[in-house]
Amino acid sequence: MSASPALTLAPLATAEGRAQYIRQRRLEIASTLAEWKRAYVVDGVSRPLAQRVELEAESAALALEAHQLKGAALAEKLQRQRALNAGLLNQLLALLQERGLDEIVAEATRRAESLQGCGFESREVVA
């Protein structure tokens, strides 16, 4: 069974892209196996056991890979979210400074520094 053209264009360079491909391929395998079962029950057409076992083995290997990719995909998502948050924070702090609200920026900086000991990061303001 070959992958559909849309799958070959998927961004497989990322963990999320690979996980998406794996989900799609496993659905294709399940669909093929279900069609073979229907053909056997309804039409009496059987397939060699080797073909079925090959698809089941591929599906199992993909399931294992998908499980391993979950952590990497989550890390990529968190990294994008942190980058977005950092950009928004810098814009907000710059806007506060532009509006003459330096005391709010100073207070936010003090609070961020007090949270650094708790595992939170402080960001420099890019004005």
Radius of gyration in angstroms for the set of CA atoms belonging to the chain, rounded to a whole number:
25
Instruction: Give 71's pLDDT tier (boundaries 50, 70, 90).
Output: confident
Q: Which of 47-51, 63-67, 74-78, 79-83 is least confident?
A: 74-78
Residues 6+ apart with CB under 8 A from 105: 93, 96, 97, 125
For the record, the structure tokens of 80 come out as 């994008």
pLDDT in tens, 75-112: 888 999 999 998 998 899 889 999 999 999 888 888 88
Lowest-pLDDT range, 47-51, 77-81, 106-110, 113-117? 113-117
d(CA 61, CA 27): 14
Q: Which of 6-20, 46-60, 68-82 has the lowest mean pLDDT?
A: 6-20
Residue 121, SS3 per DSSP: coil
* Type of residue at 45: V
Closest CA to 2 of 21, 40, 27, 28: 28
Asked whether residue 51 carries a pLDDT value surpassing 90, the answer given is yes
pLDDT at 56 > cutoff 60 = yes
| Distance, CA of 31 to CA of 14 (rounded, Å) | 26
